[in-house]
Each structure stands twice: as structure tokens, then as C-alpha cells.
Chain A
Amino acid sequence: MTAPARPAPRIDSPIADRYLALVADSDEVGAIELVGELHAQGVPAERIILDLIGATQRRVGELWAANEWSVAREHAATAVSERALATVAAHTTTRAPKGRITLACVDGEWHGMPARMLAELLRLDGWRVDFLGASIPGRHLITHLHQTGPDAVALSCMIPTRLPRAHAAITACRATGVPVIAGGRGFGPGGRYAARLGAHAWAGSGEAAVARLATDWPPRNVIGLPAVGTDGHLGDEEYTHLVHGRPNLIATAMERLVAAYPAAHEYSTDQNESTVEDIGHIVDFLAAALYVGEQEIFTDFIVWTSGVLASRGVPPVALRTGLRLIHDQLTDFPAAVAMLDAAMVRLP
């Protein structure tokens, strides 16, 4: 192969738009061809991953939130991008002198694409990476650690409702003496919740994770067990009761829905199930916020949801009604009630 005569092109918006159009139409062949072209023109693999595939994934997420794209189209686009990413990986080979890293998405976390991209970035940076996949049960992860003895574990969590399970995984990794780097939006702004859950480090993006791992990492002598007094238990009895009471909370909320929100009388089976799901989400985010002890987890979710619902033409009173239906059942939950009140203030 000869060196490109011209400097490698930058990934500008016409290229990005072309790629978005390809994944929008689920055109796997076209997307792979475009990625191959860019590679042949000398665009570094990191730039293709970050500026083309990663940036497009963000736009796809925005398009879904704005109700421009359906869930199906979002999934289809992601599947195409996964194949394109695999092509980038196939084009590049690296030695692995830096050490070995196990990478996994937290149990229940199905957004595998960010972790998949990180896996390729780390590979390009010289790590040997075992990417276990999306939604990895804690036990699978720990078995893998015992069998392969990696230098570090990278855990991805995009949605805060998975934080209790992320916490269990981090604690188990720590107990085997393997340092943990946490990544993904789920760990909060600036990775605030990562430290609370016991992670040794946090990175906000794939690029940041590569940089963090390239400097003074993994730490030597990771002492695994938590010190006395900080025994790693988060959450309190409100969290426990909320999680146990989830089925009843949802059932009661649904029984009272029509009285509180007459429009629900006309709901189809699908709409009813969607509503059940939404009330479930409210309870789950509330539980996560209680577990970590962060109002922000719940408020952010409510603000984001009201945006998503607004773009779908759902009146704000619908969400308020849902919150109220949960609120009114939580008589002995001062912390949860305070969180609900604080979130409702932020609704339009």
C-alpha cells in the first residue's frame, strides 16, 4: 500500500451526514464501504471511531429523543454501526504490550455500543481487551476475572437505574483485588457516583478512558476490602422497601390512573403497557436516587423525560399525574417524598 498523496481528509459534516444517511437506511454495505474508504485515505482509526461512529451514535440518540426516529430505526442504525466498527478493527492490527483489560457493561445495561467503541480504542492503544458484551451478570464477570487475571476492569453504565448492580459488580471486582475504572453517563456528571460506588477511577468518554489508563494505571497494591465503617453498603430501608414494594406501587398507581387522568380511560392495551413501563421507570429512578443518595439522578430523569414526552405531544400533566400517583402512596418515605417534590418543582 502506498502512502496517500494528499493529507488524510478530516471527518467533516458532509462525511458525517453521508454516514448518518447510510445508517438511517440500515445500509450496512454502504456504511462499511465508507469506513473502508476513509481508512484507505489515511484517516486514523481513532478518528473514524470517535468522530464518525461515536458522533453519529450521539446524533441517533438525539433523533430518537426528538421523536424523529423510532426505537426500531435507532436499533437498526446501531447494528449497522457495530458492523462498521468491526470493520475498522479488522483494518488495524496492534501488539498488546500494555496489559490486559476486561471490559463489560453492567448487568441490565444494554447500551453496548459505547463499550464496544472503547474496546477498539483500547486495542489501538496497545491493550489486550476482553470485551464481554452488554448486560453481563456480575457472576460471569467475576468468573472471567478468576480465569484470566486482568490488570484492570472497565465497567460501563449508561443508565443510573443500573447503579445498584454496578455497585455490586464493583465491590466484587475490588474483592478480587482488581482495580476498576468506571465509565458512562450512568455514573453521573463528572463521574460523581463512581467514587461513591467504590470505583478506583472514572472516565467520561472513550478518549478520556484511554488517556486515564495510559497514565499511572492500573494502581499497584489495590486493597480490595472496604475499610470498617465504610463497608460499602449504600441505600437504606427506604430503598429496600421501595424495591420490594415496586409491584404494589405500580398496580395501585394503575388502578387510580383513570380517576386522576381521565384521558387514560381511552388507552389501548399497548398504551396501558407503556404507562405501566413509565411508572416502573419513575420508581426505578427514584430507587436509584435513594440508593446513591443523589437527588440529581431523579431530577435529571424527570427533566429529560418531560422533554422526550413533549416532543411526542404528551401533555406535561400526564407526567405530573404519574409522579403524584407514586407520591401519594409513599407515606412513610420522607426521603423519597422529598425527592419527588423537588423533581415536580422542575416540571413545566
Chain B
Amino acid sequence: MTVVAPASALLQAAFEAAGEGMLLCDTAGHTVLLANAAARRLVPGALPGEPVTGPFPEPGADSFRCEFEGRSLSGTRRDLDGEHYAWFIRDETEQARHIAHSAFLAEVGWRLSTSLHVGRVMRTVVELAVQYLADTAMVVLPPHRHRSSWTRLLPERAVEEGTLPERLLDGVPGLVESLGGFPPIPSRWLDPAQAPGWLLPAELGPVGAMLVTPLPGNAEPAGALILARHGATAVFGEEDEALARVFAARAGMAIAAATLYHEQSETADILKADLLPPDLPVIDGFELAGSHHLHIGGDFYDVFGPAGDSTDTVIALGDVCGTGPEAAVLTGKVRQTLGALRLVRAEPEAMLRVLNDVLLRSGPRSRFVTMVVGSVRRVEHGRVRLELATGGHPSPLVLRTDGTVEEVPIQGALIGVMPLTDIRPATVELGPGELCLLYSDGLTEARGGPAGRGHFGEDRLHRALADCAGMPATAVVERLSQVVSDWLHGGQSDDIAMLAVRAPARTALSLRGGGVPEQSPFLIAARRGDRRSRARS
């Protein structure tokens, strides 16, 4: 054994006092010659005369990083002279824990921020809790009408969801307190044996420790988080409890935000229901189709089916000036007025006059509307008659069976600006298979096309509509939506409202049951309208 030359007492004292673990070893035998206090604390077996083992790698490696007796250690080896080398050992336990905590909290942060749906957030909370904090996790929301929603994740199972009656909450130690906003009760005071079967099924075996943590919300508890560790000897240490509370604070805010969003969107949905286009009624004698995806405020359309002693169907499509909530309120007012007017069997022209008066009287703010109102009725031989009147709105178009497109000759000024003097209504008759289209100028003013800035324009609309000869009303509206969407090429558009009325095409009864269909007028018209059949580049 190599004898170490006696070091000076002063050097030895410095060696002993160093914060980093230091081990002086001999190269030939790989035995420890000297170990300072820090080294003896981190690697208790490293005593003079003992072999260099424990966390240290095989001779040849000059560094290591590993878990050793509950600590994260790292070390570097330095050759001192031909016969001696040293290991310098660092304790990185704290640092590793900090890194793990930050990684956990970072994941918690972004995963909880991704959804605004309460159920989904609760699911994320139990998934994260089981991943990092416990074997079982359950979130319970404060009771609403005497029932509490819950989400639970047990080992080896999928996430479960449900509700339970408020009276059962009492059965879980600490739960009522947590839901009541009281400070968390330390785990050691909670006896898992008292947990009811609905919380922790018996087949999971003994539960060593349970933790009930409040989920703080917006000035009131958002819920409670119940964590459990299985195995008779499992515990939640102080540090675990602290981490669970940090997690609960974030989870609680996420649940509270989702709850707030849910309440807001529920309120908004109720208000919006009256402002969005209605589900179109199914009316015997003609087809109706409308466009979708309208914003609130701006364009609107409505259909009032036969009611009371009025057998006509009233249709309306318009555009209120401005957008947003104020426009939406005006839209609501217009639609309500029309709904009432149709009950007194007012003609479209009279409806526009009354509406104009209503808007003129409704205050100093200059708010106006352009719109087309029509009453629709089936007449003999499968024909459909429309009485139409306009208040400053683009005239409806009529598509004949031969593909001709006509503009309905009606005139009238904006509604809500000045007393109406001159309204010229018109009557249109549709033969079987013919269609009348009401639309808003969002359609003709859509900007796009090959150059990216051109208006869709009336000519293009006429041509696109002519191509639709023979199509059912829904197909026409969808086709036009598609053509203008292609024109926009992903660009933004104002609202585009369309409402189509069509007299159903007559189909020969003899065709049913098989056989070769005859050439119907529709087919001839459709063939002629096919732009793709022409030569092109």
C-alpha cells in the first residue's frame, strides 16, 4: 500500500472543511486513502482503506451522475500524479428536485390552459395528479342543486365521471370543509379507512394515505381534489402536501375559468338563439333554404310560417347598419316587429312602412336597415306566388327553368332614415323547378378572385345562379356559398345571407319503380349550364 506523505495539519483541515465531497485514492489498488467530511456524509462507506465502490464507476470513467441512497450525486475524477487520483463529489438532490418541480409545474401550466371546458379541465387535473402526485385522484365540484359533479382516475382504469348527492359528501373526512373554503387539513389527520366505497373501491386494497385539498376559485371554492396513495405504509410527506397545494391552486383557477366561460357562453347562447337565423320550417308546396355561419348582428333572415288565419308564409332578409351587439339588438327589434305584423296579415309594403315608423320613433341614434320582405303562397298547378317589397336592398333574383336569371323589379328606400314615400312592390310567379333568391350585398361585394381584390359582382352572381338551374333550393344555396368561398380564397368576408324559395320540380310518377328515366327538362337545362364542358386552356 502506498504511504501518503503526511500533509500539513493546515492542509488537512482545509480538505476536511471543503463543501464538496473529496476522495483521495490510490491508482494501483483503487482504495480510498482519504475522505473529507462531505464525502463521508454522501458516501458513508468511503473510508480510508476501503475499495472505491458505491456510486463510483469502474476505473477508467472520469465522471458519473446517479441516484445513491436517496440523493442525486455527480462526480468528476482528476488524476493527481501517476499514483493518485481524486474524486470530487457534488450533491445535486435539491437541484434535481427543483428541476422536476419546474417541469411538473410547466406541464401543469400549459395543459390546464388548453381547454375552457369544465369536464375536460377536470379530466386533465386527475390525469396530472395521478401522473405526479398520487395513485388515485378525484375532483369534486361544489354541489349545484344538491348534486356534485365528480371526475375520478383510479389505477389501471379510464377516467370516470358522474354526479353524486350532496349528503354523501359528508362521508369523506375533510371534503365538506374543503368545498366550504376552509384551509386544507393535513394528511396525517385524515383516516383513509373512513373513506366510503364510492370514493375508493375496496378491491384497490389498503390505502395508506389520503389528502383532501381545496381548489381555490374566483373568491369561492372551485372544488376539492382528493388524492390517495395505495399500500398500507404509503404517506404524503410535508413536501408532497405543499406541492399538492401549489398544483391545486392552478387546477382551481383553471376550473374556475372554465366554469366562468361556460356560464358566459350559456347566457350568450340564450340571447343569440333569438338573433341567429331560425331553423327553416317545412312548408307544404315549396322549398326553403338559407345560408349558415352568419355572425351576430349584420345580416339576418327570417321565415314566418302560416299562423292563425294567415295562410301565407312571410320571408324577410336584410342587413342592419353596423355590426356587433348594437346591430344585433336592432335585428331583434326588426324581426319581432315583422313577427307581429304578419299576424295581422299585413302586405310586405305595409310591413316596411310600419317598420320604418318604428325605427324612426325609436330614438335619436341613426340606425337603418335595408331589407326585402315577401309573402309566399302556393297557387294552382304547383306554382308559387311571391309578393315582394324592398327597403333599399338588392333586388331578389329569379332563376327560370331555362337558366334565365331575372332581377325582380322592385324599388324602395332605406328603412329607418326618413318617412317612406315611394315603395314599388312586385309579384313574381315561379313555375315548377323555378327559384327566387334573396341575398345580401356581402355576396356581390365579396373581395377575392384571381387578383385577390376584385368584387364578386352581380354578373358573376347571375352566371353562377344560371348554372344552378334544376337544382333543389338547398343545393343552390350551398353551390353559391361554395362559389363565393372559392372566390374569397380563404379571405375574410362580411356576412353573406341567402334565402331561396323554390317551387318543387315535378317528377313523373311513372319513373318510380325503375325503368329508364326520360329526358326531363331539368336534365336538358342542366347539361346546357355546364361550364366545364367547354374548351379551356
Contacts and interface: CB of A to CB of B under 8 A. Distances in A.
Contacts of B534: 268, 270-271, 274, 312
A133 B485 CA distance: 15
B470 A176 contact: no
Interface in B441-473: 450-453, 460, 463, 467-472
Interface in B121-163: 124, 127, 131, 158-159
Interface string A8-46: 000000100110011011111110010000000000000
Given A177-B114, A271-B536, A247 B471 contact: no
B535 A25 contact: no
Nearest to A15: B514
Interface string A70-98: 11110110111010000000000000000
A245 to B, nearest CB: 10
Interface string B511-527: 11111110010110111
Nearest to A80: B472
14 contacts: A21-B517, A26-B470, A70-B526, A70-B527, A75-B478, A76-B470, A78-B475, A146-B116, A176-B114, A247-B450, A247-B452, A270-B463, A309-B536, A321-B537
B12 interface: no
A134 to B, nearest CB: 7
B198 interface: no
A221 interface: yes
B511 A21 contact: yes
Counting chain A CB atoms within 10 Å of each CB, the highest count among B119, B460, B530 belongs to B530
Q: B interface, how many residues as a size bin?
A: 35 or more
Interface of B: 110-111, 114-120, 124, 127, 131, 158-159, 261-262, 265, 292-293, 450-453, 460, 463, 467-472, 474-475, 478-479, 481-482, 485-486, 489-490, 505, 507, 511-517, 520, 522-523, 525-527, 529-537
Interface residues of A, number: 77
A140 B292 CA distance: 12
Interface string A202-235: 0000000000000000001101110000000000
B190 to A, nearest CB: 28
Given A67-B533, A110-B482, A72 B471 contact: yes
Interface of A: 14, 17-18, 21-22, 24-30, 33, 67, 70-73, 75-76, 78-80, 82, 107-108, 110, 112, 133-135, 137, 140, 145-149, 165, 175-178, 220-221, 223-225, 246-247, 250-251, 254, 257, 261, 263-264, 268, 270-271, 273-280, 308-309, 312-314, 318-319, 321-322
B102 to A, nearest CB: 16
Given A70-B526, A271-B535, A79 B485 contact: no
Contacts of A221: 127, 131
Q: Is the interface of A mostly helix, strand, loop or mixed?
A: helix
A194 to B, nearest CB: 21
Contacts of B530: 70-72
A26 B475 CA distance: 11
Contacts of A280: 450, 489
Given A165-B490, A251-B451, A26 B522 contact: yes
Contacts of A140: 293
A70 B532 CA distance: 8
B515 A21 contact: yes
B517 A225 contact: no
Contact of A14 (B117, B490, B514): B514
Contacts of A273: 460
A71 B532 CA distance: 8
Given A76-B471, A140-B293, A263-B535, A177 B120 contact: yes
Contact of A71 (B467, B472, B512, B522): B467
Given A70-B526, A71-B467, 18 more contacts: A21-B516, A25-B507, A27-B511, A72-B468, A75-B475, A176-B115, A177-B111, A177-B114, A221-B131, A246-B452, A271-B534, A271-B535, A271-B536, A278-B536, A309-B536, A313-B535, A314-B535, A318-B536
